Each structure stands twice: as C-alpha cells, then as structure tokens.
Amino acid sequence: MASLSIAGITKGFEATQVLKGVSLDIRDGEFLTLLGPSGCGKSTLLRILAGLEIQDGGTISIDDRVVDDLHPKKRDVAMVFQSYALYPHMTVRDNISVPLKMRRLSSWQRLPLFGRCLPNSARIRKEIAGEAGKVAKSVGIEHLLDRKPGQLSGGQRQRVAVARAMVRHPAVFLMDEPLSNLDAKLRVQMRAEIKELHRRLGVTFIYVTHDQAEAMTLSDRVAVMLDGELLQVAPPDAIYAEPNDRRVAEFIGSPKINLLDAVVRTPETIDVAGATLPVPTGCEPGTNIVLGIRPEAFHYVDRFAPGTLGARVHLVEHLGSDLFVHCDFPGAGAPLIARLATDRAPSLSIGETVHLGIDASRVLLFRPDGSRLPNREATVTTLRGRA
C-alpha cells in the first residue's frame, strides 16, 4: 500500500509535447482512473509512473520516496498491459512465477538447466510454484496452470495478467486499458471483478482508460486528461454533475451534453436562439457564454407553453425505459439530444415538433474559453419563451 505523488511531470517525443506539467496526488488505497481520448498522454503518464519511460521534468514519489531514478523493478509497482503481454512460450504457472523468480532466485539460480542444480534452487522454485498456484486460485484460473497463453480466451489471459501482477503484492497496481480487448459482455463482468479485487487487496490502483463507463463505475476519483493536461480530478459524480471545463462536460456523459451559444442579457437572464432564459450569471450584459444542457435535463411538455422550446424531431432511439430524441433546433450547431422517460412521452414521429422544458437548475454555463461559470441562484425551472 502506498500513496503516490506526481509533481509537474513533462514529457515530449521529438516535436510533440505529450505531457505538459501534470501534478496529482493519489491517496493510499485509492482507485484513481486516468480518463481521456486516445493520444491525450494518459498511457505515457502511466508508463512514466512504472519507470518504463523517463520524464523530461517533474518528480514522482511513492510513499514520500522519490523514485525518479529507480528502475521499474525497484519501484514496487505492478502493471497489467492492454495486450496482457504474457510470455507466449511459458505456461500460465511460469508466467505468474516470473516476478517471484526474478526476485528470489539469484542470477545463477535462474539459468536454464544449470540453475536448477544449485543448492536451494529446487526449494525456492517449489515455494514459488505454490504461491503462483494460490494466486491463480484466487482469480479462478487454477485449472489453467499448465496451459500456454495461446490456448486461453481473452478473459482468461486477462486473469493471468492480473495474477502475475498480484503475485508479489505490489504497493501500486497500474492498469493500462486492461479491458479494451474484451467483448462487451465480458468487459462488464471483468469490470466488476477488478472492483472486487481492489476492495479485497486494498492497494492503490491507477487505471487508464478511454471508456467513461469504466471510469465512472470503478473509480474513487477520475482524472480527466486532454492534450497532455489534467483538466479535472474529482469523484465520478462530481465529474459528471460539476465539470470545471467545457471539454470535461463534453467528454463525460453519453449521449454528449448539448451546447448552445448564448449571450448575457441582464445579470439574471440570458438569450439563447431567440429565447430568453432566466439563468443568473452575474456577468456584464452582452457577454458571450456557452449553455450546456445534459440530455436528461430536458422534459417533455405536451403542448407549447411559455418556457418550452420547440424543436423538430429528427430521430428517435428507444432504450426501453427511456427515449433518446434527436431534434433540430435553430441556433444549435448539432442536433439537440433529449432523454425522455418513455412513460412520460407519447410516441413521437419524425418531422413532428416536440416541446421541451428545461430544468434550469441543471444547466451548466461556460465562458467562451471553456472554463466553467459557477451556477448562481438558478431557481426558475423553465425558460420563458418569446415565440
């Protein structure tokens, strides 16, 4: 178990700056997810934590001990790779045993054939095989110990990789998109198992993914990364409800948040696509802002009323309990997407005009540069239309 401190990490590959000064503190036993689209630098950060890459600047400490100059072996971290990186020529038992063999056997004892004849070698090897068996059992692969990775399914390989990481009781677990090679069903199942593993072991987990569902379900805290910068580090619910940056709001949530350009009319109201909304901003009149509305912040209104928004239905997706209604709205760049409860909305047909009410307490406001404008006293629940 260990806490981890990352301070001002920078890293560039030739002309590209991949990490632009990332700082982050991770608590002992925490499950932290680095979430971001591909190429945002999250895997590079994880590799720097593991010691597989050397940062250009900044410091990494594990339990207040600076590890910048330490080899991966000495950092007491274990890593699960996206490709699992199992040794294809070794059986499952040997794969799991490698970390222990490297630590407990001397370099002479590790030599093929000859090493087995040295004193104590046989005893230590037997102990190691026993421990490998125990770990295999704890992840439910004890019946596969004599197979080779080529004979295993994706999920089984994943478990072997986890067992290999677990076997030497590391202080920190690093996981680099460990579920992305699995099919959807297995991914959900393994997600639950990883969560359970974290609970059981109680050690610090750092998990890299581009899948927000994984990040939201697994983590104690999510660190959203974009273009080599950390945008926000917060618990999953806070990341969703209170994003501090427009890019975070756009990245988290499916379907994506609806963004509309708006202008402050008075400190208490804003203009959006010809409608005036009672959204207090405290900004100077005439300031440009961006209004963010999550799909579920809309609700169905059966006929036009002041404070509703009329939009033409463009596509309806049925999800059982909910409907995703895609509609064209003048003034919005992309179609608006509203999530409506099936029992509260009648069957909608394409081309029809639907009236949507907005839960004004749940709208998010951003400055043109993307930073968040704090919500102020937003008590009015519908927008007052002028149409």
Partner 1 sequence: MHAHPAASPAAVGNAARSRRRGEVLRACALVGPALLLLLVLFLLPTLAILGIALTDWQFGAQSLSFVGAANFQEIFADATFRASFGNTLVYVLIVVPGTVVCALVVALLIEADSRFRSFYRAIHFLPFMATLAAMAIAWEALLHPTIGLVNQMLAAIGAPTANWLRDERTVLPVLAIIGIWQNLGFALVLFMAGLKAIPRDLYDAADIDGASSWMDRILTVTLPMLGPVSMFVVIVVALRAFEAFDTVQMLTQGGPGKASELLLYTLYRESFEFLRTGYGAAITVVFLTIVVSLTLFQARVMDRKVHYS
Question: Smallest distance, Å, CB 68 to partner 1?
Answer: 16
Instruction: Candidates 13-21, 75-83, 212-220, 296-304: pick the segment binding partner 1 (CB under 8 A).
Output: 75-83
Distances (CA, A) of 27 to 5, 21, 59, 171, 278: 9, 20, 17, 12, 41
- Residue 20 CA to residue 55 CA, distance in Å, equals 11
Question: Smallest distance, Å, CB 46 to partner 1?
Answer: 11
Question: Smallest distance, Å, CB 78 to partner 1?
Answer: 6
Instruction: Candidates 61-69, 71-79, 204-212, 348-356: pick the segment binding partner 1 (CB under 8 A).
Output: 71-79
Amino acid at residue number 302: D
Taking Cα atoms as reference points, which of 30, 41, 304 lies closest to residue 172?
30
Question: Smallest distance, Å, CB 150 to partner 1?
Answer: 6
Q: Which of 16, 23, 83, 106 binds partner 1 (CB under 8 A)?
A: 83
Q: Give the nearer residue to partner 1 in terms of CB position, either 96 or 252.
A: 96
Q: Which of 81, 118, 180, 375 binds partner 1 (CB under 8 A)?
A: 81
Q: Which of 11, 42, 164, 210 binds partner 1 (CB under 8 A)?
A: 164
Six token digits for residue 68? 């910048």
In the block, residue with structure tokens 């590209």 = 16
- Chain positions 29 to 68 lying near partner 1, rule: CB under 8 A, are 47, 50-52
- Residue 31 CA to residue 28 CA, distance in Å, equals 9
Cβ(264)–Cβ(326) below 8 Å: no
3-state secondary structure 36-101: CCCCCCHHHHHHHHHCCCCCCEEEEEECCEECCCCCHHHHCEEEECCCCCCCCCCCHHHHHHHHHH
Site mask for partner 1 (CB under 8 A), range 95-114, x = bound: ---xx--xx---x--xxx--
Q: Does 147 bind partner 1 (CB under 8 A)?
A: no
* Residues lying near partner 1 in the complex (CB under 8 A): 47, 50-52, 71-73, 77-79, 81-83, 85-90, 98-99, 102-103, 107, 110-112, 148, 150, 164
